Amino acid sequence: MELDFLPNRTTKATPAPITIIWDWNGTLRADLDDHVAALNATLPGLGGEPISVETYQALHRMPIRDFYADLLGRQLGDEEWHAADDAFLAELARRTVRLQRGARQLMMGLRARGVRQSLLSLAPHERLVGEVAKAGITGLLERIDGRPGAAVASKAPAMIEHLRALGPGVDPARTLVIGDSVDDAVAAHAVGAVPVLHTAGLHGATRLATAGVPLVDTIQDAVATGIAIIASGQLAAA
């Protein structure tokens, strides 16, 4: 893929490299249908009914335990919740890891042009690392960080630590966060990065529009839009 929107690396007074921090589920990984199917395999055992893709995109939120409570109309006890979460993850693990269309080629092109790339997700860390390896893109990422412990409500604290771990060479104003949730935008703003959200993931366009940041249909458009914002020197509106 031609990345004509990127500046030539050899131009005079080349600025610090652009950094892209990718989200995983629903962003690089094309797994919306997988998540809905895994959830629908889990809900009947809890007394719930299967839901549609549209309902999933409209209601999905973190922490996932609260998402279940919204769907079931009741809170889950600890034992019941852990069993449901294990069942969901087991069902999801049986599904092939697929990337969004053109994702690998896009990432390879970005790397060739000197763009740094990393991955931050609230998925369990060990599972995340394994899935990324199956997708064949580990070598394109400088760092991969998943959730090390219990589920959390926001990615913002993890984003702060992730950016710090990438090192002092990363300029937040030249960092692009690409995701599929309002929380991805919140996390980007927490570090002064540029957020761009896309509509091909786990959250629907109506919800994403409430974030007040650029909203596009594909990850390719997200890259082009975000880099244009960085090149202009103006951060996306909060």
Q: How far apart are CA 104 and CA 93, in angstroms?
A: 21
Query: Domains (ranges, CATH) in the chain?
Result: 19-31+98-232 (3.40.50.1000), 32-93 (1.10.150)
| DSSP-based three-state secondary structure for 116 | strand
Mind listing the pLDDT tens digit for each residue in 110-149?
A: 999 999 999 999 999 999 999 999 999 999 999 999 998 8
pLDDT tier, 40 (very low <50, low <70, confident <90, very high otherwise): very high
Using an 8 Å Cβ cutoff, are 205 and 55 in contact? no
Q: What angle do CA 109, 112, 114 make, to 5 degrees?
A: 115
| DSSP-based three-state secondary structure for 231 | helix
What's the whole-number mean pLDDT along residues 8-19?
A: 66
Give Cβ neighbours of residue 101 (< 8 Å, ≥ 6 apart).
30, 218
pLDDT for 236: 41
For the chain, what is the mean pLDDT? 91
pLDDT tier, 11 (very low <50, low <70, confident <90, very high otherwise): very low
Q: How far apart are CA 61 and CA 197, in angstroms?
A: 15
Using an 8 Å Cβ cutoff, are 220 and 102 in contact? yes
Of the candidates 215, 206, 210, 205, which has an alpha carbon nearest to the alpha carbon of residue 236? 215
In DSSP terms, 175 is beta-bridged to 19
In DSSP terms, 179 is beta-bridged to 197
pLDDT for 16: 80
pLDDT for 27: 98
| DSSP-based three-state secondary structure for 19 | strand
